[in-house]
Chain A
Amino acid sequence: MENGSGCLNGSGAADSAEKAQQQQQCPAVQLSERNCEAVRVIGQYLRELGLARSAEALVLEAGCPLESGAAAQFRSSVLLGDWDGAEASLASLRRALWRESSWSEIAFRLAEQRYLELLESGAHIAALCVLRGKLTPLQFSPDRLHRLSGLIMCSGPEELRQLSGWSGAAGGTRQALLDSVEQFFPPSVMLPPKRLSVLLDQAVRAQVSRCRHHNTSLSPDQLTLLADHSCQAAASVPSVCSQVLDAHQDEVHVCQFSPNGRFLATGGRDCVAIVWLVEAAANPPGAPRVRHHLTLRIGEERGGVAWLAWSPDSRLLLACAAEEATEVIVWEAETGDCIKKLKHRDEDSLTTAAWLPDSNHFVVGGNRGHFYLCSVDVGFEKAWDFIRVVALATRREDDGGTAVLAADTFARIRRYRFDTMQDETLFREDGPVMSMSISQDETLLAVCVASAGVHLWDLRLRVCRRRLHGLTHGAYLLHASIGGPNQDFVASGSHDARVCVWHRGCQAGDGAQQHLLPDKLSGHGGLVSCVSWNPRHHGMLASASDDCTVRIWLPASLAAAALAASADGTGPGGAGFSSNGCCSSTVSKHQPPPLL
């Protein structure tokens, strides 16, 4: 947009005398160097907004000219299209350049703009004169000169604009020319373009990087300037236990929300996988509650449920057993029907699994060296020999195929393509890997390393982004989960019976990202092995513990809403309050477990 403001110092002969008088009469406020700079920057901002008179008044009262007289002349000449005047001003500014060598470039750009404007308006003879008399003698960039001379053959302004990529005299090119010239002069002569906007943007971005619980999808230029930005923890980070699910009879080792956020599956040493339904209460909206749906049994001798995996369409649930894990079982989550019991060989140990995107194929593996690709339709399909698998995840690749990511007992995370039988080592961890979890958008991998914490790997850049510390180490398996609308939150279990929640984007106050400590959620009575974020209700976290319960954690604001709803009697299930303010609810009804 053309900025129509003219010259700022000394507009007309009649006015200037009056203004000079005014200036003498106004007690000149003594401004420090910094304040003067601030005034100049504000003046530039006002002028950019189109408030030219305010800018002028500001300059007058403060006595800080925005830029030197010659620069102001130059600016107004360019904006008005007075090319000769612009050249004259430029000549007088020549001394002020950072580098003498840039003068020819500025002169070239000025002449180029003049040439293109003349061509656009159809004055070909005049344009040719500029080409010969102004552009060629500068001997700057023969390539550009050649291209410019070619443009004279254009049949009309439309074609000229298209071929050259120049948007025309009315297309803001004069302002663009000024902006590009500003960089050659020191700020005392000409201010860098949009200086105040740049400074404000930097400030907001710095606030965002310090926001400890940043959890908004607003971009920095949408955030308010009126107060320092900081996301309310109450709205985004889980801190209150809203439900305690105690349907399990023994330690709970796994909990997983389905990809659509409607189901929660939990399993543990009691050899039972329980499917729970997640209901978002309608009144008030957004306060999700969990209730029992189905109890699914695996055989008692199997040592418990070691792993639960949801198919990407959230329809099927796969369970791996802990001991005697020769078989994996697939159920349909809605009805509880056992769809498949997959067994390949009697000596197999299949303790971990992951689904492929078609919700039909899945990979299973264990640390005795069994690593298979299977499907619900066909069963066992392919084996990859001699890999001792510790954890699995899958990721879609650019060519449409799916890569299986497997962590093995040598602390390597490798990529396997079962369709092309290609494999590749992606990362090497510096300690034994306990478990692995991929973010929903498949860009981040959270690896739990024994006695080291949670390491976040970026799968596109193939680097370790963060090392998260603060969880209590021990001899037992821990699982982590990445959640939040921008994959910003990481949660994991811990040996001290607390749930750890980190916000990975926040830079700690001392700038040392490595020492970002997690928020710790207390309430469980035993080791917390596994956590899972709800992919749809961000901020909802489930944790599974050795105290035989699964806890649901919500952000304080949501939890308060949930409590209010239950107190009214409108929420599902009964709710009781324990003295520390946590809401615990008994599961409303148990369906008779279907025997397999």
Chain B
Amino acid sequence: KSPEFNASYSMGRLHIEHMGGERVFSCANCDCPLTNRQQLISTRFTGATGRAFLFNRVVNLDTSELQDRVMLTGRHMVRDVSCRKCKTKLGWVYEFATEESQQYKEGKIILERALINESEGFPDPVKD
């Protein structure tokens, strides 16, 4: 219980967002909500644990430093992403693609299928 300012403490209550949606994807380790089916762009990706999904927008992620990676599809600048709550590594986000055909991925997030859960959500009842 040190009064000195120490950034390594787990401080405060994390602000956890929730994107809603009828099919919700969450972190398999801690059930922190991440994204939903409406944000899913493609299922045909591969990560370290096997199948991976490409999503448009995902919340509650921490990103790592920028990394230069050569993948099957070419050279990319990516950041690893991890669950904000439990710090488990979940996938990566594309920041820059060297090849023009791959630029559609920029800003999008890859989450590995084995590390996330899909569960039932509900539609937003508000119509306006």
Contact = CB atoms under 8 A, between A and B. Distances in A.
B6 A526 contact: yes
Interface in B7-48: 9, 11-20, 33
Contact of B5 (A253, A410, A432, A526): A526
Interface stretch (A3-11, A484-492, A541-549, A558-566): A541-549
B50 interface: no
Contacts of A423: 126
A547 B6 CA distance: 9
Contacts of B20: 388, 409-410
B124 to A, nearest CB: 7
A477 B12 contact: yes
A414 B126 contact: yes
A388 B15 contact: no
B122 A475 contact: no
A499 interface: no
Contacts, number: 74
Given A249-B1, A388-B20, A548-B1, A410 B11 contact: no
Contact of B13 (A306, A369, A450, A526): A306
A410 B14 CA distance: 18
A477 B14 contact: yes
A450 B126 CA distance: 23
A451 B45 CA distance: 32
Interface string A466-503: 00000000011100000000000000000001000000
Contacts of B79: none
A386 B3 contact: no
A321 to B, nearest CB: 11
Nearest to B19: A409
A477 B13 contact: yes
A275 to B, nearest CB: 21
Q: Is the interface of A mostly helix, strand, loop or mixed?
A: loop
Interface string A524-558: 01110100000000000000001111000000000
Interface string A397-412: 0000000000001101
Contact of A367 (B5, B9, B18, B125): B18
A565 B93 CA distance: 60
Contacts of A529: 12-13
B3 A410 contact: no
A549 B15 contact: no
Contact of B18 (A249, A250, A409, A526): A409
Contacts of B1: 249-250, 548
Interface in B23-81: 33
A385 interface: yes
Contact of A476 (B6, B12, B17, B123): B12
A251 B11 contact: yes
Interface of A: 249-251, 253, 304, 306, 322, 367, 369, 385-388, 409-410, 412, 414, 423, 425, 432, 434, 450, 475-477, 497, 525-527, 529, 546-549
11 contacts: A253-B13, A304-B13, A322-B13, A388-B20, A476-B12, A477-B13, A497-B5, A525-B3, A529-B13, A546-B9, A547-B3
Interface of B: 1-6, 9, 11-20, 33, 84, 122-126, 128
